Amino acid sequence: MGAATKLAFAVFLISCSSAGSILGRSETKECIYYNANWEKDKTNSNGTEICYGDNDKRKHCFATWKNISGSIEIVKQGCWLDDINCYNKSKCTEKKDSPDVFFCCCEGNYCNEKFYHSPEMEVTQPTSNPVTTKPPLFNTLLYSLVPIMVVAVIVLFSFWMYRHHKLAYPPVLVPTQDPGPPPPSPLLGLKPLQLLEVKARGRFGCVWKAQLLNETVAVKIFPVQDKLSWQNEYEIYSLPGMKHENILYFIGAEKRGTNLDTDLWLITAFHEKGSLTDYLKANVVSWNELCLIAETMARGLSHLHEDIPGLKDGHKPAVAHRDIKSKNVLLKNNLTACIADFGLALKFEAGKSAGDTHGQVGTRRYMAPEVLEGAINFQRDAFLRIDMYAFGLVLWELASRCTASDGPVDEYMLPFEEEVGQHPSLEDMQEVVVHKKKRPILRECWQKHAGMAMLCETIEECWDHDAEARLSAGCVEERIIQMQKLTNIITTEDIVTVVTMVTNVDFPPKESSL
């Protein structure tokens, strides 16, 4: 074997040895734990934390801290999820120059006990390099190493692409930039936020399941071209009186990126059961479950529609949602509902313009007749009645999947899916709803259950062609409470009594109270 060949073989062995060391890693099982906000979060203040997670995913330690005039204040230390930015780092080191909140992660037990700030410096090259003659073996080494390097680059690039698509966004601190308006929660900026998986896609972007320290949250990401929708939703959530158990809980808003790469984020509570649409596709509901969902949904919409002066945080104006549908109703674990998605909402404040009151907005199959005709009275009550028409259709969706009546339960269908299919045009909806005055079918077997019969009457009064005859959300809430009370006393022995009670029951007034 020649000298040149021996040298090339030695280089190959060294390369393989280096690759082996790169693939090796320290297993992280425990980390130093600290929480500056332990009293509020109801956790321990310090100690150690055992790292849990899937066996095929790597675990790390992390630390966040602040440097206030040279004084170090630790914010949080603990375990961190599988993150390519932490791979093979034995020391917990922040590389950014001067962030508001410092963040580092590492691999190895208790590697976050000590943390460092070592900003990356630009290396300046000398203006001239001395010319060196190429060694005689240069060509041999070149031809030997090039194939190995090409293969290594392809493998590393493929691995990076896999991780990139899996994580989609690297975990960063919240917020990285000023979102325009001040952040609603000053604590948000102290917490690292990590996106986990896409849960839904819609007209204005996608919704991610994410982790904010030990809390699971939802992150709705808008592209920059939908800035107005993001801004509007942020403003609606920030109104006085918008914290309500049946309105989706809002945590924060911010911008990510720069210029054309900017994404706009809304961070809210996360509900594992997802939307009412998703739930009804996979499940049927009992009469009591229907009443619980419908009552809490009506309560949330009633609060949204209400003008409430004199609250601690100010005057809550009436708000019209303008895109009520089962996709925008989320279910909590206890099956209570909360209203979400305020990108098209309008607020009505005395002496102020309601903003863009363009009539034909929302989802076509849920549009009221006056919206489809383009014949809206641009007053507050007119917009609230449009919400109530759509609310009637959502009640019909609930009724269609209820097991209360003796008849078969239909497969889940969207309103008017039998009449116009899954992707109706505006003209399709105008023909069915405005000209033929059709509504989704109320099954005959539903009338045999006293509660379902009352619900059908309520649905018809919500989707009445005459907008002024529609019920208010508050009236619907009261009716559902009465329905449930009435049906709770029904037994098989007193059907005759129940029929008499149904005939004589005093409903809240039929007229709209808007």
Q: How confident is the model at residue 212 (pLDDT cuts 50, 70, 90)?
A: confident
Mean pLDDT of 359-384: 87
Q: What percent of the chain has pLDDT over 90?
A: 47
Residue 364 has pLDDT above 60, yes or no: yes
The pLDDT value given to residue 13: 46
Question: Does the pLDDT at position 501 exceed 80?
Answer: no
Per-residue model confidence (pLDDT) at position 353: 65
Predicted local distance difference test score (pLDDT) of residue 417: 95
Structurally, what CATH architecture does the domain formed by 273-349+358-491 represent? Answer: Orthogonal Bundle (1.10)
Q: CA-to-CA distance for 425 and 415, rounded, in angstroms?
A: 14
Please provide residue 124's backbone torsions phi and psi, each rounded to the nearest 5 degrees: -90, 135
Q: Which residue has the higher pLDDT, 186 or 74?
A: 74
Per-residue pLDDT reduced to its tens digit, 137-193? 666 666 677 778 888 888 888 776 655 544 333 333 333 334 444 444 434 554 578
**Residue 459 Cα to chain centre, angstroms:** 29
The pLDDT of residue 1 is 52
Q: What's the confidence (pLDDT) of residue 493?
A: 42
> Does residue 407 have a pLDDT over 60?
yes
326, pLDDT greater than 90? yes
Could you say which of 3.40.50.720, 3.30.200.20, 3.40.120.10, 3.40.50.2020 is the CATH number of the domain covering 191-269?
3.30.200.20
User: Distance (Å, rounded) from C-alpha 480 to C-alpha 293?
Assistant: 10
Binding site for ATP: which residues?
Answer: 199-207, 220
Is residue 118 pLDDT above 80, yes or no?
yes
| 3 pLDDT tier (thresholds 50, 70, 90) | low
Question: Active site residue: 323, 341, 381, 464, which one?
Answer: 323
What's the average model confidence in pLDDT over 214-228? 89
**Mean pLDDT score, 455-477:** 96
Instruction: Provide mean pLDDT across the span 412-428.
Output: 94
Segment of 156-160, 369-373, 502-506 carrying the highest mean pLDDT: 369-373
pLDDT at 356: 58
Inform me whether the pLDDT recorded for 130 exceeds 50. Answer: no
- pLDDT score for 172: 35
Q: What is the pLDDT, as a whole number, of residue 506?
A: 55
End-to-end CA distance of the chain: 95
- Give me the mean pLDDT over the 293-297 stretch: 97
- Whether the upstream peptide bond of residue 309 has omega within 30° of 0, thus cis, is no
Higher pLDDT, 381 or 24: 381
Which residues on neighbouring strands pair with residue 346, listed in sequence order? 320
Q: 371-402: buried (b, 16+ CB within 10 Å) or exposed (e) per residue?
A: bbeeebeeebbbbbbbbbbbbbbbbbbbbbbb
Position 490 confidence tier, pLDDT thresholds 50, 70, 90? low
Q: What is the pTM of this model?
A: 0.64
Asked if 410 is an active-site residue, the reply is: no
Is 345 strand, coil or helix? coil
pLDDT of residue 17 exceeding 70: no
DSSP-derived 3-state class of residue 44: coil
Q: Which residue intervals of the chain bear CATH 2.10.60.10? A: 27-115
Instruction: Determine phi and psi for 118, rounding to 5 degrees.
Output: -135, 80
Residues of the chain within CATH 3.30.200.20 domain(s) are 191-269
Superfamily (CATH H level) for 27-115: CD59 (2.10.60.10)
Q: SS3 of 126, please?
A: coil
The residue among 170 and 343 whose pLDDT is bigger is 343
Q: Give the total residue count for the chain.
A: 514
**What is the number of alpha carbons within 13 Å of residue 353 lying toward its C-beta?**
4
CA distance 494 to 481: 21
The residues of the chain that CATH labels 1.10.510.10 are 273-349+358-491
Q: Which residues are annotated as a binding site?
A: 199-207, 220
Q: Cα dihedral sign for 411, 273, 473, 348?
A: negative
Summarised one tens digit per residue, pLDDT across range 250-276 is 999 988 877 667 889 999 999 999 999
Q: Identify the pLDDT of residue 11.
A: 44
